[in-house]
Chains A and B, each alone.
Chain A
Amino acid sequence: RKEVEQDPGPFNVPEGATVAFNCTYSNSASQSFFWYRQDCRKEPKLLMSVYSSGNEDGRFTAQLNRASQYISLLIRDSKLSDSATYLCVVNRDDKIIFGKGTRLHILP
């Protein structure tokens, strides 16, 4: 079983819709969690950290469920510029493990 798993998509979503991604991790010792965004042929960029209490940044909401070992990302009122690959990231000790990403296409 992979340490971090994501649905690869693609998710094709009309502009203005709400979309949600999930990510599961296998190691219960994982300590911190993040969502990154990667545009084609570019480096990944931090979107937001994920906290146990859940956190929100504008149209983006992240949740962590330690008991079930999954992380979620919700995007509301999606924009064309949200089209990208979203990477789930899990930290354990000195290791930072990336999921393979979920591709999102926002359709006009």
Chain B
Amino acid sequence: SQTIHQWPATLVQPVGSPLSLECTVEGTSNPNLYWYRQAAGRGLQLLFYSVGIGQISSEVPQNLSASRPQDRQFILSSKKLLLSDSGFYLCAWAGQINEKLFFGSGTQLSVL
């Protein structure tokens, strides 16, 4: 069966520090991969999605970047965190276009 792993579960970082969140999927090949952010009390905002290795689509201009170095690995990064980067970050995968989405357990990021 397919599983998705996301870590760390919580992270506290100072403003200006770098960020790297990692997500891996097991049990499937060539998944569509997604990064979402959910600010406190707000909806899910799509940040990036990827349909294949090295293929990244960005939904909103921001302080973050994403990379997909391997088929089942998706990384969210920042060179310098801002206070506004705080939020609940969720990685997700889908098998094909228009299929249902499955989420990792999320990373609660607090930038202080």
Contact = CB atoms under 8 A, between A and B. Distances in A.
A98 B105 contact: no
A96 B101 contact: yes
Interface in A51-77: none
A49 B100 contact: yes
Nearest to B88: A41
A46 B101 CA distance: 7
A100 B42 contact: yes
A44 B44 contact: yes
B90 interface: yes
A91 B103 contact: no
Given A43-B105, A46-B101, A96-B94, 20 more contacts: A31-B98, A32-B98, A32-B99, A41-B108, A43-B103, A44-B44, A45-B103, A46-B100, A49-B100, A87-B43, A87-B44, A93-B97, A94-B51, A94-B97, A95-B46, A96-B34, A96-B49, A97-B46, A98-B44, A100-B42
B105 to A, nearest CB: 6
B57 interface: yes
14 contacts: A31-B98, A32-B98, A43-B103, A46-B100, A94-B57, A95-B46, A96-B34, A96-B46, A96-B94, A96-B101, A97-B46, A98-B46, A100-B42, A100-B43
